[in-house]
Amino acid sequence: MSAASLLIAWLTLASPPAEPPSATAPAQAPRDVYALEEAAFVAQARRDLEALRLGTEGLRRVRAEALRSRELYRRKQSVPYTPDEKQLLVSTWAAFFDCFVSTEVVRQRYWDFLKVPSLTQPKKHAWGFLLTHAALAAELSQGLHYADLTGGQAQLEVLLDESVPEYGLPPRAFAHFKEKVLHVGTSTQLFTGDGYRATLHPILAKAGVLDEPGVPALLQAMRADSQAARSRLLKRGPVLFAKAVADLTQDTTARAVFPVQKTVAEWMGDTRVHRVGKPLISREQTLKLVERMAPGDILVARQNWFLSNIGLPGFWPHAELYVGTPKDLALAFDADPEVKAWVATLPGHPQTFTGHLAQAFPAKWAEYTGKDAHGDPLRIIESISEGVSFTGTEHGMHVDYLGVLRPRVPPVDKARAILRAFTFQGRPYDFNFDFFSDQTLVCTELVWKAYAPAKDMKGLNIPLVNVAGRRTLPANEIVRVFDAEYATPGRQFDFVGFLDGREAQGDAVEANAEVFRYTYRRMKWDIAQE
């Protein structure tokens, strides 16, 4: 097939069917990523390359996890699943779905690359192809494996097609997933793109894209994924497509577009491109909320469509521990009788809690008493990709959605929690989400371990949950516990505040506890976000 024929074939296959206008879509039409200036486009493409890497690695990891429970997926229909087995199956599917959607968002944002002339705009053309085709190859490579593992099991498919807002699963997501990976048009795009890749290599080299960090690894993964997908399609394609036709008759209307429909994908892409560094919550709102906060408070935070959201189930992806300024710490704890009695038993018999922190962690105390890049005092301890860090309000609170809860524990427990957090500060981020190791910590793990009950500490009882076969604690669970215990005598949290982002208006409003308590049920990928 000639390069010209490949261009025509790709344009025919890649263009999605027209979607009706969404009632919840922004009033202003989304802007095209290719309309950016070249430098801004390349910067965005690099960010999306990292998003793609996280998404595709997540697909491989979750698919491998599913294979370890193969017997569960192939169970006879006459044997019902137990509640624990259902939870494992649904959480694994939710993690796979989340990574699949994040990968598909990248693919849909760049699929018009053939409309960008390769001679006059080689960088945009080259980047567009790489991101589009690598995403598609990964989706088919891992998706075909997962569809084959789960296909034909009526009991399982009914379970996976149910709406589970806590995990970010809309209704019939599994049916749409099958439609995507088993659709002949999607598979034909793979073969067409593989052919075009060979003709595009000189353009990739000329544009300098091959020298970009991460691109060689992307090309290697693309080839491996494509080979795996092609092999599976050639060997098992007739059976899979026959199954798909029967399934689609029952499951969906015949559209070759997965859950992220075109208007949603463009809107999400527009948000990532044009709202970088522009959170929905204003700085003024953040500083006003800080006036009501106290050391030991727990924050849950969300930024729409950010890399940190990938693979984390539910609406709330991040949790933080509020420490306040050194002055705040001193006012909260240094004169408290219980805190003073406890501190006196610590090594060196310090006089005050803040004195103990300064004495036990001199380097950390020096860092904590400094300023952030914006000249603001450091008030938060959170685990981010750089590790467990002291951050200011600009980083930890200037986001799109922010909730603040106050543990109903005595001051001495809050002081102990902050001391534990100081101990963890500086340790690496836990990309494996392993709650049984203290050497690396994920965001919620920091909060959970800081407030873990002990013989001399009431702490907080927040149960871990199974997500894709791993015991962990999504930030969503903290809000779920708040909701379950709301207004009960034994509740573990008091409500402090909630700043609720509004994408359509481009701002945030303060909302009450009644609104906040149900946020954990919001759909993670929903364009409306309530």
pLDDT average, residue stretch 429-437: 48
Lowest mean pLDDT among 244-258, 304-318, 449-463: 244-258
CA-wise closest residue to 135 among 108, 116, 115, 112: 108
Give the pLDDT mean for 406-417: 97
Tokens of 421: 């957090």
Answer yes or no: is pLDDT of 134 > 80.
yes
CA distance 89 to 86: 5
Q: Given the structure tokens 């149960």, which residue do they identify?
A: 463
Q: Given a cut of 80, is residue 104 above it in pLDDT?
A: yes
Residue 217's Cβ-count burial label (10 Å; 0-12, 13-18, 19+) is exposed
- State residue 463's pLDDT score: 87
Q: What is the pLDDT of residue 395?
A: 82
Q: Which of 106-120, 126-140, 282-296, 320-334 has the lowest mean pLDDT?
A: 106-120
Quote the CA–CA distance of 450 and 148 in Å, as a whole number: 42
Closest CA to 498 of 323, 292, 272: 292
Average pLDDT over residues 311-338: 90
How many other β-carbons are positioned within 10 Å of the β-carbon of residue 325?
A: 16
Count of H-run helices and E-run strands, the chain: 20, 9
- Reported as a single tens digit per residue, the pLDDT across 266-299 is 333 444 444 556 889 999 999 999 999 999 999 9
Q: Are 362 and 372 in contact (CB under 8 A)?
A: no
Please check the confidence at residue 254 and state whether its pLDDT lies above 50: no
Give the range among 122-126, 293-297, 495-499, 507-511 with minimum mean pLDDT.
Answer: 122-126
List the single range of 41-50, 93-102, 441-450 with lowest mean pLDDT.
441-450
- The answer to whether 392 and 376 are in contact (CB under 8 A) is yes
**To the nearest whole number, what is the mean pLDDT of the chain?**
79
Domains of the chain, each with CATH number or no CATH: 56-274 (no CATH), 290-521 (3.90.1720.10)
Q: What is the pLDDT of residue 275?
A: 55
Q: Tell me which long-range contacts 64-73 makes (C-beta under 8 A, separation of at least 24).
A: 65/92, 65/468, 65/469, 65/470, 66/92, 66/96, 66/146, 66/149, 66/468, 67/145, 67/149, 68/469, 69/469, 70/149, 73/149, 73/150, 73/153, 73/156
Can you tell me the mean pLDDT for 121-144?
A: 91
Per-residue pLDDT at 498: 98
Could you give the angle at the alpha carbon of 152 between the alpha carbons of 147 and 156, nearest 5°? 80
Residues 6+ apart with CB under 8 A from 101: 258, 259, 260, 525
pLDDT of residue 306 exceeding 90, the answer is no
pLDDT of res. 276: 57
Percent of the chain clearing pLDDT 70 (strictly above): 78
- What does the pLDDT read at residue 237? 52
Over residues 381-410, the pLDDT tens digits come to 988 767 788 999 988 888 899 999 999 999
**Closest by Cα among 107, 245, 249 to 184:** 245
pLDDT surpasses 80 at 174: yes
Position 468 scores a pLDDT of: 64
Which residues share a beta bridge with 164?
Answer: 169
pLDDT at 444: 75
Does residue 30 surpass a pLDDT of 70?
A: no
**Could you give the percent of the chain with pLDDT greater than 90?**
35
CA dist., res. 187 & res. 192, Å (int): 9
